[in-house]
Amino acid sequence: MRWFGYDVSANVSLLFTELPYEQRFRAAAGAGFAAVESWWPFAEAHPGTERLDTLVTAVRDAGLTLTGLNVYAGDMPGGERGIACRPERANELDDALEALLHVARATGCRSFNLLYGQLDEAADLAEQRTTAVGAYRRAADAVAEIGGTILVEPLAAGLNGTYPLTTDEDVRDLVAQVERPNVAPLLDTFHLAHNGADVVELATRWGGTVGHVQLADNPGRGEPGSGELDWHAFGSALRASGYTGTVAAEYRPTTSTDRTLAWLGEAQHG
């Protein structure tokens, strides 16, 4: 699958959810995708080697490339959005990085999204920032040995609790403070547009320096074309910015996934 000349990966944590998780890889391949990405699919930071290998096998058996994987982010279904800023969860992060590297070495995945976590507003906020910076440094150093990149993502305000990164400025300030060459911003069109950003302007201004791009419309987080974003303008701006990575279909389909893929055929540029 290609869009504006970019290879498109399917995020199987949001797409093909009509099927059990492990069956979504074959479904993505059947729909024409050559690459996939995923949130951390396990409830634990380290579910054990056998269960990690089931993920690796699902990717391989479908003939796909795994281009992105989220670091364990706590209880996502329960509302958590990362653990990086929480001092009491440092051991979990270490376990998560060990598990992540197991999958990365087996699949060739080199792009990893580490969510900051929600602030405990009753605790020391400065300590939580220091903890987060240290966590991003540890993660970056861990994946550097395989040529990996740690991504920093802003999330939609009002939908993710006390998650503090909501703008491109928030993300860039953190990236600068972490001071690691393999830490980069993630440009997610839904989250940023929901927070009032002009994503076309952002693509023009800093698309060439982001580590990854994820596509979903706003409002609603549906497939491109289901909301109000100008996808031709965004795709053109991203091309002009010099961004050379993949883009991910990371949206909530408004109907069955297969019926939401027409947008991929509407801009076969490049």
Residues 92, 44: Cα–Cα separation, whole Å: 9
> Does residue 269 register a pLDDT over 90?
no
Complete domains list, the chain, with CATH:
2-265 (3.20.20.150)
pLDDT of residue 267: 56
CA pseudo-torsion sign 102, 44, 22, 249: negative
Provide φ and ψ at 192, rounded to 5°. Answer: -70, -45
The 10s digit of each residue's pLDDT in 109-136 is 999 999 999 999 999 999 999 999 999 9
**Mean pLDDT along residues 124-150:** 98
Residues 241, 161: Cα–Cα separation, whole Å: 32
Q: How confident is the model at residue 236 (pLDDT cuts 50, 70, 90)?
A: very high
Quick check: pTM over 0.85? yes
Helix axes of 199-206 and 231-241: crossing angle, nearest 10 degrees: 10
> Does residue 102 register a pLDDT over 60?
yes
pLDDT of residue 266: 66
**Mean pLDDT along residues 263-269:** 69
37, 80, 223, 250: which one is catalytic?
A: 250
pLDDT of residue 173: 98
Locate 221 and state its tokens: 């987080």
37, 80, 153, 223: which one is catalytic?
A: 153
**Mean pLDDT along residues 69-75:** 98
> Does residue 156 register a pLDDT over 70?
yes
250 is catalytic: yes
